Amino acid sequence: MNKFILAAAVAAVSITSSAVFAGGKSIGVSWASFQEERWKIDEAAMVAAIEAAGNTYVSADAESSSAKQLTDIEALITQGVDALVINAWDKDAIAPAIEAAANEGIPVVGYDRLIEDARTFYLTFDNVGVGRIIAKSVQAVQPSGNYAIIKGDPGDPNAMFLLQGMMEVIGDDVASGKIKIVGESFSDGWKPENAQKNMEQILTANDNNVDAVLSENDGMAGGVVAALSAQGLVIPVGGQDGDLAAINRVARGSQTVSVWKDARDLGKAAGEIASALADGVAMSDIKGASIFDGGEKGIAINAILMDPTPLTRSNLSVAIDGGHISKAQACEGAIANVDGC
Query: Mean pLDDT throughout 270-285?
Result: 98
Write out the H or E segment, with its range, that includes residue 303: strand 301-306
DSSP string over 129-165: HHHHHHHHHHHHH--SEEEEEEE--TT-HHHHHHHHH
- Is the pLDDT at 9 greater than 80, yes or no? no
In the predicted model, is pLDDT for residue 190 greater than 50? yes
337 within domain boundaries: no
Q: For residues 184-190, give the mean pLDDT.
A: 96
Q: What own/partner pairs with CB < 8 Å and gap ≥ 24 does 326-332 have?
A: 329/244, 329/247, 329/248, 330/244, 330/247, 330/248, 330/251, 331/248, 331/251, 332/248, 332/251
Residues 227 and 161 in one domain: yes
Residue 76 pLDDT greater than 60, yes or no = yes
Distances (CA, A) of 122 to 65, 118, 153, 199, 304: 21, 9, 19, 32, 6
Q: Is residue 154 part of a domain?
A: yes
- Tell me: do 170 and 318 sit in the same domain: yes
User: Residue 262 above 60 pLDDT?
Assistant: yes
CB 251 within 8 A of CB 338: yes
The answer as to whether 233 is a domain residue is yes
Residue at 164 is within a domain:
yes
pLDDT at 22 over 60: no
Q: Does residue 11 have a pLDDT over 70?
A: no
Which range of residues forms the domain containing residue 294?
A: 2-126+262-307
pLDDT, tens digit (0-9, with 9 covering 90-100), for 27-59: 999 999 988 777 999 999 999 999 999 999 999
Q: How confident is the model at residue 3 (pLDDT cuts 50, 70, 90)?
A: very low
Q: What is the CATH number of the domain that holds 112?
A: 3.40.50.2300
Is residue 15 pLDDT above 70, yes or no?
no
Question: Based on the domain organization, do 316 and 303 belong to the same domain?
Answer: no
Are residue 85 and residue 193 in the same domain, yes or no?
no
Mean pLDDT of the residues in the chain:
93
Residue 325 confidence (pLDDT): 96
Higher pLDDT, 54 or 17: 54
* 250 shares its domain with 287: no
Q: What confidence tens digit (pLDDT) does each residue in 99-125 have?
A: 999 999 999 999 999 999 999 999 999
Cα–Cα nearest to 160, from 115, 128, 195:
128
pLDDT digits (tens, 9 = 90+) for 129-178: 999 999 999 999 999 999 999 999 998 999 999 999 999 999 999 999 99
Strand (E) or helix (H) holding 330: helix 327-331
Instruction: Specify whether 107 is located in the same domain as 14.
Output: yes
For residues 164 and 106, membership in a common domain is answered with no
151 and 11 part of one domain? no
Percentage of the chain exceeding pLDDT 90: 89
Q: How confident is the model at residue 127 (pLDDT cuts 50, 70, 90)?
A: very high
Nearest alpha-carbon partner for 134 in 243, 57, 216: 216
On whether residue 274 sits in a domain, the answer given is yes
pLDDT tier at 13, thresholds 50, 70, 90: very low
Kindly give the pairing relationship between strand 309-311 and strand 257-260.
Answer: antiparallel
Could you tell me if 230 and 133 lie in one domain? yes
- Is the Cβ–Cβ distance between 159 and 134 less than 8 Å? no
pLDDT at 35: 81
Residues 107, 246 within the same domain: no
The answer to whether residue 341 is domain-embedded is: no
Q: Does residue 338 sit within a domain?
A: no
**Ramachandran class of 210: left when φ > 0, alpha when ψ lies in -120 to 50, beta otherwise:** beta
Full-prediction pTM beyond 0.85? no
- Asked whether residue 251 carries a pLDDT value surpassing 60, the answer given is yes
Q: Is residue 113 within 8 Å of 156, Cβ to Cβ?
A: yes
Total count of domains within the chain: 2
Same domain for 226 and 275? no
Residue 151's pLDDT is what? 98
pLDDT of res. 36: 76
Three-state secondary structure readout of 208-273: CCCCEEEECCHHHHHHHHHHHHHCCCCCCEEEECCCHHHHHHHHHCCCCEEEECCHHHHHHHHHHH
- Of the segments 20-24, 244-248, 262-266, which one has the largest average pLDDT value? 244-248
